[in-house]
Amino acid sequence: MKFAYRFSNLLGAVYRQGNLNFSKDGNAVISPVGNRISVFDLKNNSSETLPVSTTKNISCVGVSPDGNLAVVVDEDGAALLISLITRAVLHHFHFHKPVSSIRFSPDGRRFVVTKENVALMYHAPGKRREFNAFVLDKSYYGPYDETTCIDWTDDSKCFVVGSKDMSTWVFGAERWANLIYYSLGGHKDVIVGCFFEKDSLDLYTVSQDGTLCVWESDTELDGLVLRKTRDRPEDEEDEEEGTRTEGDQGEVIRGKVETPRERERTKNVRYKQISKHFFNKEGDFNNLTAAAFHKPTHILVTGFSSGIFHLHELPEFNLIHSLSISDQRITSVAINCSGDWIGFGCSRMGQLLVWEWQSESYVFKQQGHFNNMASLTYSPDGQYIVTGGDDGKVKVWNTNSGLCFVTFTEHTSSVTSVTFTSSGFVIVSASLDGTVRAFDLHRYRNFRTFTSPRPAQFSSLAVDVSGELVSAGAQDSFEIFLWSMQTGRLLEVLGGHEGPVSSLCFSPVQSILASASWDRTVRLWDMLDSWQVKETLPLTSDGLSVSYRPDGQELAVATLNGEISFWNPQTATQTGSVSGRHDLQTGRKETDKVTAKQTAKGKSFTSLCYSADGESILAGGQSKFVCIYNVKEQLLMKKFEISCNLSFDAMEEFLDRRKMTEFGSLALVDDGTGDGDGVNISLPGVRRGDMSSRHFKPEIRVSSLRFSPTGRSWAATTTEGLLVYSLDGSLVFDPYDLDLDVTPASIRKQLRLQDWASAVVLAFRLNENALKQEVLETVPHEQIPLVCSSLPDVYVEKLLGFVASCLEKSGHLQFYLTWTQNLLMLHGQKLKNRSGSILPTLQALQKSIQRHFDNLSKLCDFNMYNIRYATALSKQRGLKRSAEEEEEEDEDQSEEMSEASLENAEMML
């Protein structure tokens, strides 16, 4: 249970390559991110990454019209049939060649795949279980070069295919007598998009040079007739061209002998170009790269390589508006079913935008780090993750929604380290540009900038528990700089290291700073005693990372020889070590001259992090594996493979023999020197890829690791993005003190007898989440203090952890807060003695309560002025009413006085 972490979400990357799709209702965008699929819910402002992955980067995605199925194809042509409801893989298939596009027919019974110069039509998988989900129906030949795009008619009778040979081909999905195939020319560049008009055979074709051709057909869709054949026996009819099999039913539809009137009806389909339009291009290299057409509204959206997109109304070609969303090439365009929202993907920038063209506003705007992520940190309550990248940006991500809500761009070079202060509202980042900056999460601004007397490249960072001291280590001057957060002044420069300072860490309980360096030492600096060196710990190799245990009683150091050594900081003695060289399995790069086994000997861990309870440690480095070690036993508990994407380098242990030639590996041969893609060999010494136009394969690695303060998840910044792994408690059966008498029936019997305390104990012994929630919510509100007081000590911590997890998702706030208050009030002193083990549970509680507080405070702030207005209005109306009542009383008194005076006059008379 403790190590049952599963892949939960992918942050930091929203789009890589391939085509975008909207869901059936149009409220979600389905985006390919590397070899995974992410679904962004635009209504609820959340993201989810499906727990499926392909072997290489995804090149195209086809979604069925009902939105239940998706066919995902990678760069090699390997396909997965995925259920978008259950998030499960239903079928594996291989097209054996790279696929350029895939499209389902509007009726959902077929889909067309284009690869090379062939269009293949398959029967779509049905609702019942089938041996082979993909059944090839027909193969269509015609184009002389690679095919690029597909579109279907609304009744699924015909489809059109665009090609790189500047031609467009119209094919019949059935055996039509008057349409077998039709080829259209008229363009001088690659066809980017081809679209049928609504309920018609009329066509629009768009080419890369910015040309739009409008084609009119002389035949309507109703004019398409089946090829007719004479009546024959069934055996012979199956061999004739005129027969066809209808879907899964296996029906044979037979034609009859043609009459002269039918022969007149079957006049061949012909096309005529009625107009030709040109997009205004700015410069010779502004190519049209993506296009999408919404048939009900006749809106054509085109994206260009300069980041500009146009909206035109067809067939008049009226420009609605033009806008620039970035300075990079727009790779993919998609329109939702209502035609209100337009999705744009920019692969080079990693951008995903959703634009509402009628109100001219952004619905969704996300962008990952342009280059690799270098560091990450969790907020103290676990609600936010902050990442720093090689692009100089600091991004803050919400762990619940998976989206970035603020980006700081003040740094001008790579961000090497980020951390939170203990308050959780200040982010501190160090960069190679020679500055350490502090950002305020209340006002979203950079309020402090720390610099050194001489320019230095800061490679490590640490902030003490109080949040007053900020320290950063330099990789060129071998010094450690200390600043005051309050005043921003430089307090001290700590010298003594003889190599670059690779890592810094403050003790959680004392004012002691630990620094690891390449000079094979770890130094402990006393912040209270004139910043003097308290201890010097000798290492067997260069120090790469240092981390304190949450209670401050142990220190872990990762060294260049692949070992993790554990030290007692009080006595400066080594208590143990773990050799992780054998656990850092790595693949062989395409340009390596040595085997993967020999390469692994030079690998090491570059990032360490203790779990919240301090019993285990998380380690990662120049490998695709992340290891969890038990500190006490010094054993490997579990290894996580963070990626299986073969599009990255150093993933395969052995090189493919097919890539070996008489000149050596194909990766070492400059076979692409004259092409636009460039060569595959990276420049010497380059690790993060070239900034020029050369083509390269990034190497898989883990740059930073962090456990969540709640202990329920951990995150890693990798070449693929920010991967989040969390505990999936619903799928793991982990009973506690189980007995034969502990059954759901016996638990419900105790509930009927109103023996609440024993029912709670039995439910936690069986340890099924649904049953525990049922028991807790059955307990009456007034009985909660009594149940908490009679609960055994061993179940208090378990109940508190379960209440913390329920409080995060449940809407019964007062009910679960009552449980929390009574548990902490009655058992607080006993829990305080076990503060180390109870800390993750308390932080999970803090995270849940803080999230609800933020949501409710926003709601209350929003309604506060409405309530004030309503009360002021009611007071004003009350004053008016009181004034009217006084006037009525005065009138009544005057009437009474007048009546009394009349009576007196009458008496006197």
C-alpha to C-alpha distance for 215 and 200, rounded to whole angstroms? 11
Contact at 8 Å (CB) between 6 and 360? no
C-alpha to C-alpha distance for 505 and 554, rounded to whole angstroms? 12
pLDDT of residue 232: 40
pTM of the model: 0.80
pLDDT of residue 672: 45
Domain topology for 8-121? Methylamine Dehydrogenase; Chain H (2.130.10)
Res 828 pLDDT > 50: yes
Distance between terminal CA atoms of the chain? 107
Positions of CATH 2.130.10.10 in the chain: 8-121, 375-538
Candidate from 37-46, 257-266, 703-712, 822-831 with smallest mean pLDDT? 257-266
User: What mean pLDDT do residues 120-136 have?
Assistant: 82
Pairing of strands 490-494, 480-484: antiparallel
pLDDT of residue 128: 63
Contacts for 75-82: CB closer than 8 Å, 24+ residues apart: 75/647, 77/115, 78/54, 79/134, 80/52, 80/54, 81/125, 81/133, 81/134, 82/37, 82/50, 82/52
What does the buried/exposed string (b/e) look like for 62-87 if buried means 16 or more CB atoms within 10 Å of the residue's CB? bbbbebebbbbbbbbbbbbbbebeee
Candidate from 382-386, 611-615, 642-646, 797-801 with smallest mean pLDDT? 797-801
Q: What is the dihedral of CA 861, 866, 868, 872, to 10 degrees?
A: 170
Contact at 8 Å (CB) between 104 and 111? yes
Positions of CATH 1.25.40.190 in the chain: 740-854
| Phi–psi pair at 297, nearest 5 degrees | -100, -5
C-alpha to C-alpha distance for 411 and 423, rounded to whole angstroms? 23
pLDDT of residue 191: 94
Q: List the one residue out of 794, 807, 788, 790 whose CA is nearest residue 767.
A: 794
Alpha-carbon torsion (228, 230, 235, 239), positive or negative: negative
Task: Specify the DSSP element, H or E, that contains 172.
Answer: strand 168-172
C-alpha to C-alpha distance for 75 and 97, rounded to whole angstroms? 8
pLDDT of residue 810: 76
User: What mean pLDDT do residues 518-532 have?
Assistant: 86
Domain topology for 740-854? 1.25.40
Q: Which residues lie closer than 8 Å to 513 by C-beta, 6 or more apart? A: 462, 464, 471, 480, 504, 505, 506, 507, 524, 525, 527
Tell me the average pLDDT of the chain: 82
Res 51 pLDDT > 70: yes
Contact at 8 Å (CB) between 601 and 581? yes
Contact at 8 Å (CB) between 204 and 214? yes
pLDDT of residue 238: 38
C-alpha to C-alpha distance for 557 and 769, rounded to whole angstroms? 38
Tokens 């009806």 belong to: 265
Strand partners, 610: 617
Res 500 pLDDT > 60: yes
C-alpha to C-alpha distance for 557 and 537, rounded to whole angstroms? 10
SS (H, E, C) 110-123: EEEEEECCEEEEEE
Res 236 pLDDT > 80: no
Q: What is the CATH number of domain 375-538?
A: 2.130.10.10
